[in-house]
Amino acid sequence: MSQELEPKDCSTAVIYHEMYDGRGFSRIERSWGRYRRGMNKFMELGLIAPGSPAHPLEYDPATYPANSAYIPVIRGREATEAELLTVHSPEHIRHIRAMDAQGTGMFDRNDTPVWPGVYRRAALAVGGTLVGAELVASGRARHVFHGAGGLHHAHYDRVSGFCIFNDIVAAVRYWQHNYGYRRIAILDVDGHHGDGTQALLYQEPVLKVSIHQYDGRFFPKTGALGERGTGAGWGYSVNLPLPRFATDEEYLPLLQIGLDQVEAYRPEVIILQYGVDAHYTDRMVGLKISTRVYEQVSQKIHELAHRVCEGRLLVVGGGGYEPETVARCWSILLANLAGRRDELGQRYLELYDNPAALPEPVSGAVDEVNRLLQVVKQML
């Protein structure tokens, strides 16, 4: 049975910056508009105030939160170099600055383009997540959503997969250094494995649960079931790989296993990497997931956060390259975090996928996931 949570128990904030309206990190131009499309959908639903994406509020601990019927939109900030150095090498940061000054080229093979201003945009992605981390840890908001975060492919000393700096690990370091948190859980539902996040935390007892497409060849070619961590981090990397063409029916049992792992860990705070590129309309991933799964992710992690860590939940956007789909999935998330789903009524139901368009299960994928479930139950 779902836990009954009132909106007053679900204080929520959205982090945004006007620079998100411009160029993004990927070479897929259509995806750059997802941030504004998402914010427009929030306004259309009455979740945030009209005009708030163009005029985000400056975060001031002395006056926050202001009483409002709307979810506040808070302006992000640039991460400082000192904050970036908690995650990345000095050489990596110097390299990004130098490439920014050069203004052209590629960071990694043919994935992540260089352009003038890319350093600032990347520092804003991290700083926005850190504003969210502070809001959650200070208790000024139970839940925070930062759509421009979730850059889980960035490694200690290299750019990868549209990810320049790793804001997820920056949030972990922020909480460790400023709040003394030791039990931090990360649930990553992006269609791609969070290889950078895993590598950066592989030897630490920070729980990392990832549900993603995997066959040993699909980018980033990591995330096998046997990748469990090393040293003090042994057992704290939990990878739940899915075959191509897996649908909701195969996904949901793995989601429950992942949620059970998070709950058993008893975290002090949770990060949800809410990449929605596993949706069946997204061509970047071969999974066939619907809004039904994203609703389940939103509802269940929200309820779990209230059960185990007083609601402390930071959500970052991750992947998603079809702006209309992203806007609907993000709206499902935000409505559930803020306890506004029932109030939206029919407008919420219209966020769902068209039932007639939902993919049918593929027998090979079903069989593979059934075999995987047996192995997982023996391992965990």
Place of tokens 């039932």: 355
Query: Where do runs of H (alpha helix) occur along the chain?
Result: 34-44, 81-84, 90-102, 118-138, 167-179, 195-200, 248-265, 291-308, 323-337, 341-344, 346-349, 363-379
Per-residue pLDDT of 116-162, as tens digits, reads 999 999 999 999 999 999 999 999 999 999 999 999 999 999 999 99
The whole-number pLDDT of residue 297 equals 98
Residue 226: left if φ>0, alpha if ψ -120 to 50, beta else—which one? alpha
Query: pLDDT above 70 covers what percent of the chain?
Result: 97
User: How far is residue 203 CA from its own chain's centroid?
Assistant: 22
Structure-token pair, residue 98 = 């130098």
Q: 291 near 351, Cβ under 8 Å?
A: yes
Which among 306, 305, 287, 208 is positioned nearest to 246, based on CA atoms?
287
The whole-number pLDDT of residue 1 equals 35
Per-residue pLDDT of 303-345, as tens digits, reads 999 999 999 999 999 999 999 999 999 999 999 999 999 999 9
Identify the segments of the chain with pLDDT beneath 70.
Answer: 1-9
Structure-token pair, residue 255 = 């989601």
pTM of the full structure: 0.96
Structure-token pair, residue 295 = 């609703």
CATH architecture of 10-379: 3-Layer(aba) Sandwich (3.40)
- In this structure, the dihedral spanned by the alpha carbons of residues 167, 172, 177 and 180, taken in order and rounded to 10 degrees, is 160
Q: Which residues lie below 8 Å from residue 62, measured CB to CB, with a gap of 6+? A: none
Backbone angles phi, psi at 352, to 5 degrees: -70, 155
Q: What are the sequence ranges of the domains in the chain? A: 10-379
Give the integer Cα–Cα distance in Å for 286 and 288. 7
The whole-number pLDDT of residue 8 equals 59
Q: 198 near 156, Cβ under 8 Å?
A: no
